[in-house]
Amino acid sequence: MKETHTGWTAQEDAALTFAASEARRQRKPLKTAFDAIAIETNRRPNSVRNHYYTQLKPNEKDGPVFLPFSEEETDRLLETVLLALANGQSVRACTLAMANGDTRRMLRYQNKYRALLKSRPERVRSVRTRLVSEGHAVPDPFVRDPDAPHVGRPPKSNGDLERRIRALLDTLCRNLLALTQGEDAV
């Protein structure tokens, strides 16, 4: 299983910047630099490419597009979202309020929260434990509320239902074949 990464070190940024400039100097595709750094950092080439274009590629007007979260910002984000969940608010509504209606910032907050759930569950649990010890009734974000409506993709199909549908289709195929050969259907 591939190791998950949550940030880039200054050394990794420097290596990526150097590899990209060397690829340009040698008139090679930037993909060669992304592939090499992906191997070196145990990341996926697409992740390296995305990091390069959002963080490292010089942008004359605005500076870097992507600003990493500080440890304090990360904790504040977790606290705000977990307290909002305790008050019945959705992650999306909470992060939109945090962003003052700016959907780009809202997506940044929402994506960071979801990434923390996936890659840093111990940190999420730590912040939740602290909030609970302070007297807040914060739900566990890793436990799905059975009364909550399902959001997102529908759950995978029921295996039993799938088997019955396949059996029905098999029977229909056999009957069609029998009828085309002048036999009685089953």
pLDDT by position in tens, the chain (length 186): 455 666 788 899 889 989 998 998 998 988 999 999 999 999 988 888 888 877 766 554 554 555 788 899 999 999 999 999 999 899 999 999 999 988 878 888 998 999 999 999 999 999 999 999 999 999 999 988 777 666 666 666 667 778 888 889 999 999 998 888 888 877
CA 49/CA 181 separation, integer angstroms:
59
CA 118/CA 50 separation, integer angstroms:
19
Q: Which residues of 3-21 are buried (b: 16+ CB within 10 A; e: fewer)?
A: eeeeebeeebeebbbebbe
Which pLDDT score is estimated for 146? Answer: 76
CA 85/CA 117 separation, integer angstroms:
14
Which pLDDT score is estimated for 126? Answer: 95
- Tell me the two tokens of residue 161: 């239902």
- Tell me the two tokens of residue 2: 């591939």
Does the model's pTM come out above 0.75? no
Look up residue 110 and give its amino acid.
Answer: Q
User: How far is C-alpha 92 from the geometric centre of its chain's CA atoms?
Assistant: 14
